[in-house]
Amino acid sequence: CRYKSTGSAFPGKVKLGDKTYQKDSWFNVPDSIATSIDRQLHTTNDHPISITRSIVESKFPAPAFKHYHDFFPVVSTHENFDSLGFPADHPGRSKTDTYYVNETTVLRTHTSAHELEIFQAKESDGYTISADVYRRDAIDKTHYPIFHQMEGARLWDREKVAHGDIAKAVWEDVERLPKHHMIVEDPNPPTHPERNPLQAGHAPEEAAAIATHLKRSLELMVVEIFSRAKAAAMATNPNYHDEPLKVRWVEAYFPWTSPSWELEIYWQDQWLEVLGSGVVQQELLQKAGVPSKLGWAFGLGLERIAMLLFEIPDIRLFWSQDPRFLSQFTGVSDDLDTLKRFIPFSKYPACYKDVAFWLPPASSSTTSAAGGLAPPQAFHENDIMEIVRNIGGDNVEDVQLTDEFTHPVSGRRSLCYRINYRSLERTLTNEEANRFHERVRGELVKKMAVELR
């Protein structure tokens, strides 16, 4: 048995939700993640993620759209990556980015993992899927290793529209959508031969019609949600600071859509990406057994929308069990006209600690990855994030690279990270922060073979 000699956390089985899985050397799911699977915030009554989900769903009404909430988060690598055309070497597949249960089983990294099966099911030509998704990622106020996405798609069938004229049918549906007056920056060409190509089987006017329907639908979702929520806030708070809503479309790349775009909203002096989207690749629809259909798909971050809507300043708050957080949403309906902003409770002092280290020389590092975290010769920042997260948990607000240089003679790289230890719920003592920090330093040496400076 090839796993016997390692003596680490496998072989063995792991229970995730109500199912049991065989682990192998790919397993990298920490307990804190495994035990959070049961939380299902997107269907928890009176939780801001569930309220937000319901508000966004209402912008994609039945019968055109069917709404799914119950897809289990453990999926195959085929569902999460292969079915969508992810190339074999796509960085998203890496153990540094994704939580693996075993070599062919992952915690889904996005709700797109269910696109193929939903297209296959043919239950509706429009749908949304809301679910929890998992990623090894940065630590800051807008990133968390578990978050929630809503996937949406809308298809048209060449064989069911008059004269097979998809472009005309889609334009008629565009005409039926309400207009809006929000200023949208969209300097992007409809398609771009290298960056955002027109698909082989699509006429330019088909892609243009679908793109217009996609963009208008998503803009309407944003306008309706934010302008009504703002009106409610201004009605109840005379000192409400009114900032005009600013949004923009940015070119993007996804293996299963082309052309593709992301939508960003201006928030707290920066552009915040809220969703990715595009015209669905015909190859995916062929695989699903619906080759005569064409359409669009999007995937949005529910936390990002919820943070804007309720003015929630830190993504960790969604996981808080503190009544000072949860009680503010009790009895809050999804009625936008009566929506209440979150009133922050006291902010506790920040406690910054730096850690500086030399990375191991690339050639000698093959023996390093003791815990199976780091791939042998490559350094990946997500491994640092994971170490900090596993030790500090929600007591860490932010981890930032503050300095980086390469030694002119030895060629070795040195990095310095600044960790902000700050709980949302109480003041951390300097001793507590020091204890976390000492353990972080120890684990960096043990798991990543760095040399502390």
Contacts with ligand FA5, residue ranges (CB under 6 A): 110, 112, 135, 137, 143-144, 147, 149, 151, 254, 257, 273-278, 297-301, 303-304
Task: Scan residues 273-292 and list those touching Mg ion (CB under 5 A).
Answer: 276
Partner that binds at residue 261, options Mg ion, ligand FA5, none, CB closer than 5 to 8 Å by kind = none
Q: Amino acid letter at 18?
A: D
Nearer to Mg ion, 156 or 249 (CB): 249
Apex CA 147: angle with CA 143 and CA 150, to 5°?
A: 120
Residue (of 453, 449, 451) closest to 365 by Cα position: 449
**In this complex, which beta carbon is closest to Mg ion, that of residue 151 or of residue 443?**
151
Longest dimension (CA), the chain: 74
**Residue 257's binding partner out of ligand FA5, Mg ion, none, with CB under 5 to 8 Å set by partner kind:** ligand FA5
Q: Which does 278 bind (CB under 5 to 8 A by kind): Mg ion, ligand FA5, none?
A: ligand FA5
Closest to 285 (Cα-Cα) out of 130, 158, 162, 188: 158
CB of 374 to ligand FA5, least distance (A): 20
Helix/strand number for the chain, H first, E second = 11, 17
| CA-based radius of gyration for the chain | 23
C-alpha separations of 425 from 316, 317, 341 in Å: 11, 9, 19
On the 0-12 / 13-18 / 19+ scale of CB atoms within 10 A, 430 is: exposed
Residue 287: which of ligand FA5, Mg ion, none does it interact with, CB under 5 to 8 A by kind? none
Closer CB to Mg ion, 97 or 432, in the complex: 97
Nearest position to ligand FA5, beta carbon:
301
Q: How far is the CB of 153 from ligand FA5 (least distance, A)?
A: 7
CB of 195 to ligand FA5, least distance (A): 15
Nearer to ligand FA5 among residue 74 and residue 428 (C-beta): 74
Residue 143 near which of Mg ion, ligand FA5, none (CB within 5-8 Å, type-dependent): ligand FA5
234-273 footprint of Mg ion as x/- string (CB under 5 A): ----------------------------------------
Closest approach of Cβ 115 to ligand FA5, in Å?
Answer: 7
Contact 406, 435 (CB under 8 A): no
Residue 302 or 449 having the CB closest to ligand FA5: 302
CA 117 – CA 113 distance, rounded (Å)? 9
Beta-bridge mates of residue 152: 128, 298
Instruction: Judge contact between 234 and 242, C-beta under 8 A.
Output: yes
Q: Which does 339 bind (CB under 5 to 8 A by kind): ligand FA5, Mg ion, none?
A: none
User: Do the Cβ atoms of 404 and 415 come closer than 8 Å?
Assistant: yes
- Cβ 124 to ligand FA5, closest distance in Å? 16
Give the binding site for Mg ion (CB under 5 A).
Answer: 276
